[in-house]
Structure 1
Amino acid sequence: MRIPQETVQLIQETADIVDVINDYVTLKKRGANLIACCPFHNEKTPSFNVNPVRGIFKCFGCGKAGDSVKFIMEIEGIGYPEALRHLAKKYGIELKETEQTPEEIQSQNERESLYIALDYAKKFYQEQLLQSDEGQSIGLSYFQERGFNRQTIQQFELGYALESWDAFTKNALQQKFRIEVLEKAGLSIRRDLDSRPDARVFDRFRARVIFPIHNVSGKVIAFGARILKADKNQPKYLNSPETEVYHKSNVLYGIYQAKNAIRNEDVAYLVEGYTDVISLHQSGITNVVASSGTALTVEQIRLIGRFSQNITVLYDGDAAGIKASLRGLDLILEEGLNVKLCTFPEGEDPDSYVRKIGGEAFRQYIKTQAVDFIRFKAEVLLQDAGNDPFRKAGVIKEMVESISKIPDAITRQVFFQQTARLMDLPEETLVAEANKRVRERIKNDTKVREKQERKSEPPLDLPPGVGAFSPDDEPDFAELMAAEQGQSAPVPVSKPKRTPLSYQEEAFCRLLILYGTTVIETETREDGPHDITLMEYMVSQTYDLDFQTPLYQLFMDIFRAATQQEAYPDTNFFLSHSDAIIQEASIDFVSERHPLSENWEKMHEIYIPHERDQLDKVAHRCVLRLKKSFNDQRMHDIKQRLTEVTQANEQEELLMQFMKMKRIDQALAKELGIVVTGY
């Protein structure tokens, strides 16, 4: 189905970019704009900028830019139509779609097809839970025994898969879903029996309660399924396989339901299972997510980091299980997040304990019992080591290893001091050991890099000069950490060398996109006064110039066509342009990475004139610099031709052209107030 243009315009006008992006990352105010760490690439310092007035975003780190629709396309990995549907659903805009052509249907994004199939499966499982006899007697009874009420069941969209071999698949095929899509979504399994055409097709999930897994925006991307009857031949939990839209290392169960609470509470509670999340939600504790039994990954930590820098891990394992998982929590420290741990009385887990004492008492318990990770780890390992000096030495080294991974220098220093007191050791001893550890890691990474280079493979992202240290070298810890953290920086990519002319073409286009509709002069004509816009003036002054940079010539074509029709497009025309190249370039023009503070004049009584306050002068100088740059290019071309021609008459003609260009160059330079050199 095709979305009519008037509906597209309504969606674009209604979608608040701050509201849209806040669904995925926590934005913080900075001047007139908002900033955050970019959700598209890993970074510790925010370079993702949102301009609410313009309705655009721009990352100065990875370069991604666009409006609300483009953001949804990028973050969800979906096409333009599906992004519009996503925003229409968010803002309650009714879609009246027209029929698509066969070509449009064929080119529909594969990810969109998977989302549609997964959403259909979710509704099917919900229907079986609430309306079928089997679902009510088995699935619904199980959820009610766990204490889940109807509102909670609906909030998490819980369901039930019938015991039948192909109940879902048969129903989906009847609804015209292709078996290839059902397979790719992880919903159906097709077992080819000796390549016969009647290959057997059956459901992946059978006789299980269903836990839909949502992404940050609320789309169902996978399912977790629990069997209820005792069967040694079947796993207790069965999850969807990895698909185009589901990568378990990138997902946290409950993140969609919890993200706003995590942002508001400024802490995420991390538990292990689905029922822990659901029980805590029902008790009023909604800032909780689960790793769903998998080892915590860097991607999951970064996902939490979009909404809060604080994580409290709620452990329900025994002492041995806790010790085994402590090493993995170093990942949280490496990502610069603050982590605490909380354990429960023996035999209790978050699910059982919150049902036992209630939501408010549970919150209070966490508040009083949660301990920072470093202290918790030290106490657990020291207790295990007892009075054995060798084991205690091993504990010290392990603690230093954890602290050395913390990127923030002040936080590291605090933990070194705290650990020194716990271990009854001088702080300097721990810092020296940390220096040694970081040097070893850098050396190992350097060896890996050198090995890859010998194999002619792309090298690791190590900073220049990082390598082995001589025995006399003893750089301080901050220097070592700075070197090691440089490993995550991308290798600089050499860009094509730009000509001086291209910079002037860029400046010309930028000025027109920002201020093209601004009136800079009013002249009297026979039919009355006539307002002259910046675009009309600058285009009339450059009618004979053909830009050499294809992108800027594309802009110039738009400017000239608009001037002929006296219908001058404003900035928003370019920011929401259907051509992605024009849109992204326009966003680059209007985005300021370091805007001047509004308080500068108020606090220091220093006025910094802005170009918008003197557009007539700025435009005049811009045109002059552009003409001079074109003239310089022509002079350069003539000098090049002079080295190639041999005929005297041709050389004389070129010299005459060069002298003419030279006089023009001198005149332009004089008007610009610059000194001409060379030639």
Structure 2
Amino acid sequence: MTISKLTSDKVKERADIVEVVGDYVPLKKKGQNMWACCPFHGEKTPSFSISPAKQIYKCFGCGKAGDPIQFVMDIEGIGFQEAIRHLAGKYGIEVEEDEARTPEQNLEQNERESLFIALNFAKDFFVKNLQTDEGRSIGLSYFKERGFSPQIIDKFDLGYALDGWDNLLKSAKAAGFEEDILLKAGLILQKEGDPSRLYDRFRGRVTFAIHNISGKPIGFGARILTKDKNQPKYINSPETPIYHKSDVLYGMFQAKKAIRDLDNCFLVEGYTDVISMHLSGIENVVSSSGTSLTEGQIKLIKRFTNQVTVLYDGDAAGIKASIRGIDLLLEGGLNVKAVVFPDGDDPDSYSRKVGTQAFQDYLKNHSRDFIGFKIGLYQEEFERDPIRKAEVIREIVQSIGKIPDPIIRSVYAKEASGLLQIEEEIIHAELNKSLIKSQKDHFQKAKDEVEAEEKLEELISTSAQVSFIEKLSIHEREILRLMSLYSAESLDEEGKTVLEYLLSETLETKFQTANYERIYNLFRGLISTDKKLDLKGLLNTFPGESKNEIIDLVQQRWEVSAHWTGRHGILVPTEKDDLAISSYRALLWYKKRYVEKLMAEASMNIKSSEGSNEDFEKILVLQSIYLEVKKIQVLLSKELGIVIG
């Protein structure tokens, strides 16, 4: 189905950038804008800026920029239509379709949207199978034995894959899905040795739908219920264009609100652990689905909280094998605690054994920070062996060294000193060695980057080394920035807008930077339609690439501190206070640079003519052109208050 323009317009009008971005990352107000660590690239210092007034976002680290719709497209990896549907659901806007589309037309949409449609069909198919005779006797019985209520089954889209060769394949083809999409979605397989023979990937298993952060099915985990030694206990969807295991945590869609509200995320191992904790009234829980923790999964947690509590099964050997995950969490800037269940138990079995209240009490009373947890884990070993104690101290120090915050590092070093009964100075000395060793390459890389940046700054600031085109580009950008920010603002009593004034003064010139010339021509086309649009109107009108470039133009990293006006009572005039002067000076600078470019071209023509057989009169003409342009340059410089020789 194609979403109507009316629905798109309602979403654009209603969607608030702070509310939309706030669903994914915690925001902090600084000045007029909101700031966060960018959800699109790893960083420790916030460079992701959200402007409530302009309804745009921009990351000054990776360059990502856009409006609320673009943010949803980027963060979810979906197309425009899906982003509109997502936001319409968030704001309770009824989605109107322009016209019905056949299954074949649906599959003509981009591949990602087709995969979402196919996986949602499979999810519904597995859920409905629970109502068949086979599904009730096997799948539903298993869920009831685990104590899963109908509400929980519905909440997590639990289902059952019938024990047949191609039940899903037949139903999907009957609904209009092509085999190619079903293969790419990981729902069916090709028989080895005979690719023409296709069959269901999931057969005779209960299914656990894996959702992305907005709730769309992107894959499945499936558990076998028979004791077949030739079959793995669990099988999972393969990597697909919309399912990257290293970036997904099971249960995050159901948990994200609780994680943000409670400022803590419980991390468990399996699907049933997540579901059992929900049954115990604990919703801020996710699972790595039995795989080693990855950097992408850590970044996903960090969108919602900085606090993680890792829940370990009561198996000392298994804990020691998986403890590297704690170091990864620390390195990602998260504060880590841990809980260990009694030997032989996991979150699922223990919650069913003791009941809801006792389970919640156990989590509260047995949560330890990672230092106490690690030391307790190895205590019996190092009490018997002094050499082992030295090894444990080094392991603890290495973990502390992963923490990016120096103050938190210092606090943990003091705690480790007390628990290990060793002088704090020794801990700090070992910590310094570890930090120097691990960060040597990082410092060298940073040093190289700083030197490169300093050289670039020096190059830009030295006018003799910068081409006239590059200098002109700076002022072309400034003209476009004013056009974008204040296009509909009036400059005089006659109602002439900033856009009309700047265009009328630059129509005889041509922008030298290709991207800026393209945007300039869009503004010129806007004048011909007699439309007066503010920034939001421009972003809704201009095409995607140009829209992002305009956001890059208008979003400023720095702003005047509120302390000047609030605390010190100093009035700091803003650009908008006198747009006439701002626009006039921007034009003067642009024209000055344009004239300097013309002078450089004239000078080159004179030099090339002097070395050739050009007649004397032509050289005189070129010289007179140069002198006339020079006069204009002097006048412009004088108007700008610049003294030139």
Give the shorter-chain TM-score range.
over 0.9
- Verify the 8 A CA contact 1:23 1:216 in the aligned structure 2: no
**Alignment partner of 1:517: what SS?**
coil
Which aligned pairs between 1:328-407 and structure 2 lie closer than 5 A?
328-407=325-404
Say if 1:543 and 1:238 are closer, same or farther in 2 by CA, change over 3 A: closer
Give secondary structure in 1 for the equivalent of 2:40: coil
The question of whether the paired residues in 2 share the 8 Å contact of 1:50 and 1:57 is answered with yes
2:463 matched residue in structure 1: none
Aligned: 1:42 with 2:42: yes
The reply to whether residue 283 of structure 1 matches residue 283 of structure 2 is no
SS in 2 for 1:463: helix
The correspondence for 1:228, drawn from 213, 225, 228, is 225
Q: In structure 1, the residue corresponding to 2:207 is in which secondary structure?
A: strand
**Residue pair 2:169, 2:199 contacting (<8 A) in 1 also:** yes
From 628, 632, 645, the equivalent of 1:660 is 628
Q: Does 1:97 align with 2:117?
A: no
Report if aligned partners of 1:574, 1:582 keep a CA contact under 8 Å in 2.
Answer: no
Confirm or deny that 1:117 pairs with 2:118. yes
Distance in 2 of aligned mates of 1:289 and 1:122: 20
Indicate yes or no: 2:336 matched with 1:327.
Answer: no
**TM-score relative to the length of structure 2:** 0.92
8 Å CA contact 1:406, 1:412 repeated in 2: yes
Structure 1: distance between partners of 2:520 and 2:633: 24
Q: C-alpha displacement at 1:578, in angstroms? A: 4.1
| 1:118-517 to 2 correspondences below 5 Å | 118-129=119-130, 131-191=131-191, 193-194=193-194, 199-441=196-438, 462-464=445-447, 499-517=470-488
Q: In 2, distance between residues paired with 1:332 and 1:52?
A: 32
Structure 1 CA distance, aligned partners of 2:590 and 2:261?
51
Distance 1:126 1:361, change over 3 A: same
Distance 1:201 1:304 in 2: 38
Asked whether the 8 Å contact 2:60–2:557 carries over to 1, the reply is yes
Q: Within 2, Cα distance between the matches of 1:95 and 1:215? A: 25
Structure 2 partner of 1:472: none
Q: Which moved more, 1:151-160 or 1:100-109?
A: 100-109
What amino acid is aligned across from residue 13 of structure 2 in structure 1? E
Rounded to whole Å, the distance in 2 between the matches of 1:324 and 1:318 is 10
Aligned-pair Cα RMSD in Å: 2.7
* TM-score with structure 1 setting the length: 0.88
3-state SS of 2:199 partner = strand
Report 1 or 2 for greater relative contact order, CA contacts < 8 Å, sequence distance ≥ 6.
2
- In structure 1, runs of 5+ residues without a counterpart are 447-459, 467-482, 523-529
Q: What per-residue deviation string (whole Å, max 9, x for no partner) do you get for residues 601-635 of structure 1?
A: 12111111101001111111111111111111111
Equivalent position SS for 2:297: helix
Alpha carbons of structure 1 residues 42 and 351: separation in structure 2 relative to 1, 3 Å: same
Task: Give the deviation of 1:415 after TM superposition.
Answer: 1.3
Distance in 1 of aligned mates of 2:110 and 2:529: 38
| 1:585-664 equivalences in 2 (<5 Å) | 585-646=549-610, 647=614, 648-664=616-632
Cα deviation 1:184-237 (Å, max 9, x = unaligned): 111111215456xxx322111111111001111111111111111111111111
Q: How many residues align?
A: 630
Q: Which amino acid aligns with 2:540?
A: S
Task: Indicate the larger mover: 493-502 or 145-154.
Answer: 493-502
Letter of the 1:515 partner, please give it: Y
Q: Which amino acid aligns with 2:241?
A: E
Mean Cα deviation higher: 223-232 or 357-366: 357-366
Q: Which moved more, 1:291-300 or 1:78-87?
A: 78-87
Work out the CA distance in 2 between the residues paired with 1:33 and 1:667.
40
CA contact (8 A) 1:520 1:533 kept: yes
When residues 614 and 319 of structure 1 are mapped into structure 2, their CA distance, relative to the original with a 3 A threshold, is same
1:65 paired residue number: 65
Q: Structure 1 pair 187/389, CA: closer, same or farther in 2 (3 Å)?
A: same
In the alignment, the residues of structure 2 paired with residue 673 and residue 578 of structure 1 have an alpha-carbon distance, to the nearest angstrom, of: 37
CA distance in 2, matches of 1:352, 1:103: 47
1:573 has 2:537 as partner:
yes
Q: 1:168 offset after TM fit, Å?
A: 0.8
CA distance in 2, matches of 1:31, 1:87: 27
Structure 2 gaps, min length 5: 461-465
1:513-566 deviation digits (Å, cap 9, x = unpaired): 1112111211xxxxxxx3222222222223322221222223332333444554
Secondary structure of the structure 1 residue equivalent to 2:10:
helix
Partners of 1:465 and 1:588 in 2: CA distance = 27
Deviation for aligned residue 1:123: 0.2
